[in-house]
Amino acid sequence: MINLKQFGENLATLRKKQGLTGERFAELLNVSPQAVSKWETGKNLPESNLLPDISKLLSVSIDSLLIPGKYSVKYYLGGCYIDAVLTLKWGDMQDCTWAGCMRLLLDVFGISLTYAEVMGYSGSCYYFSMTKNWCPSATMPHILYDPAAVLERAVGVKRASLSFDRMDACVKEAIHCAKPVMLIQPRVEMEWGVLCGYTGDGRFYGRSYFDFLKPGVEDIFTDNHYFLADCYSRTDPHYVYFLQERTSPLPIQEALKASLETALNIYTAAPQCGGTYYFGRQAYDILIDSLRLEDSSFAALTQYGTTGNGHNLLACLIDARRAARDFWVEKSPLVPGKNGKKLWDLAALYGKMVSELSKIIPNDLVAATLNAYPFTAWSQSARLVIADVLTACKEYERQAIILIEEILARW
């Protein structure tokens, strides 16, 4: 239901932003100034046939007019900021930075999804990749496909189109409209955060999962404690993202089918980037074979010495499969017949993976890993135990793919 008061306040703000008086706005719409006044004071809504013209005059979508803003905008230091965007943090077993930021963007846009739904509809819950030197970039689904595009189609949203020469201007416009902007690398390489404000001298501020690791009091912007996005890259618009408008979502059955198709595509994908990134069985083999090496060979193989960045890789794997389990526990009752039963079995397989992985990296260690705490090196005996657990998970993964193929064949 549309809140008339919020609609009116939003309309007045957008009109003033365009430099239009109430009289001029009314003239351009061929209505009386009294009608505009009633809209802006929350007494009436415009006729529906006027909405396209209003949105065009104010340079916003019709959804942006009608959906009440979740946050207010304040002006400060020659720029502005979105007030009271929540802190991003690890430790809630919802630890994919892309999915966490996407949840925030969708929520602001009036779409409330669980973490498991963001991971499930986008296909990120099935992702697992390895490089032979254990590079942490392997944990990002964007190496293989665009998870946001899959999610957008499922839930019915459209992202803004950005170009390099207009990128900063578009980011500022989004913040003016109380839309946080998601981007890669605001403070730390290869992680996602959101921009929430900017100053007149061209500095951007926002939220990151890494804020408390690089606190720096001088980098804080307003009492919201937004941090300077000191790594914000302006080189690739593909990695600067905000939502533009609502579209028609897929019917639930089609969205669930698309999720399973993404799982199959990820598992069977050929190596990417000149054979650097491997998926499915090959990814497990690289990880398991590396863990079975002697100490010196293992340390030389990986770019992170005797821990091989393995805690991080395993934490991301367990987080993804936990989301897959939770997604299908919730969604399997929505699918009738034998397929619904098979989807419950699929959730059980992912649950077994979570159980096995939790033996070697329990929840408190997952949180510590993602919070970048230091670790002692793995001994060879510890690596052999981990390799055995991953061998079991590799088999569960194979069984899950067989189930998915059977389900898709009779969808």
Q: Considering the chain, what is the average pLDDT of its residues? A: 87
* Residue 222 vs residue 364, higher pLDDT: 222
Query: How distant, in Å, are the alpha carbons of 140, 282, 287, 309 from that of 279?
Result: 12, 6, 11, 18
| Residue 371 predicted with pLDDT over 90 | no
pLDDT tens digit sequence for 313-365: 888 899 999 999 999 999 999 999 999 999 999 999 999 999 999 988 877 76
Secondary element (H or E) of residue 183: strand 181-184
* Residue 83 vs residue 89, higher pLDDT: 83
Pick from 25-29, 67-71, 401-405: least confident: 67-71
Q: What is the pTM of this model?
A: 0.82
SS3 content of the chain, % helix, strand, coil (to 5): 55, 10, 35
> What's the pLDDT at 11?
87
Query: pLDDT grade, residue 91 (50/70/90)?
Result: low
Whether 88 and 193 have beta carbons less than 8 Å apart is answered as yes
Radius of gyration of the chain (CA): 24
> What's the pLDDT at 260?
98
> What's the pLDDT at 93?
63
Pick from 51-60, 67-76, 187-196: least confident: 67-76
123: which residues sit within 8 A by CB, 6+ positions away? 141, 145, 147, 150, 259, 262, 263, 265, 266
Average pLDDT score over residue span 15-41:
90
- CATH class for the region spanning 4-68: mainly alpha
Mapping DSSP to helix (H, G, I), strand (E, B) and coil, where does residue 198 land?
A: strand
HSE-CB for 250 with a 13 A CA cutoff: 17
pLDDT tens digit sequence for 170-199: 999 899 888 899 998 888 777 899 999 999
Query: pLDDT grade, residue 59 (50/70/90)?
Result: confident
Pick from 5-9, 28-32, 36-40: least confident: 5-9
Average pLDDT score over residue span 202-213:
85
Give dist(CA 210, CA 99) in Å, integer.
15
Q: Both tokens of residue 130?
A: 């390895």
* AA identity, residue 75: Y
Give dist(CA 94, CA 87) in Å, integer.
14
Mapping DSSP to helix (H, G, I), strand (E, B) and coil, where does residue 136 land?
A: helix
Sketch the domain layout of the chain as residue ranges: 4-68, 97-112+161-241, 252-409
* Number of other residues whose CB lies within 10 A of the CB of residue 23: 11
| Residue 234 predicted with pLDDT over 90 | no
| Residue 132 predicted with pLDDT over 60 | yes
Beta-strand relationship, 220-221 and 157-159:
unpaired
* Number of other residues whose CB lies within 10 A of the CB of residue 84: 12
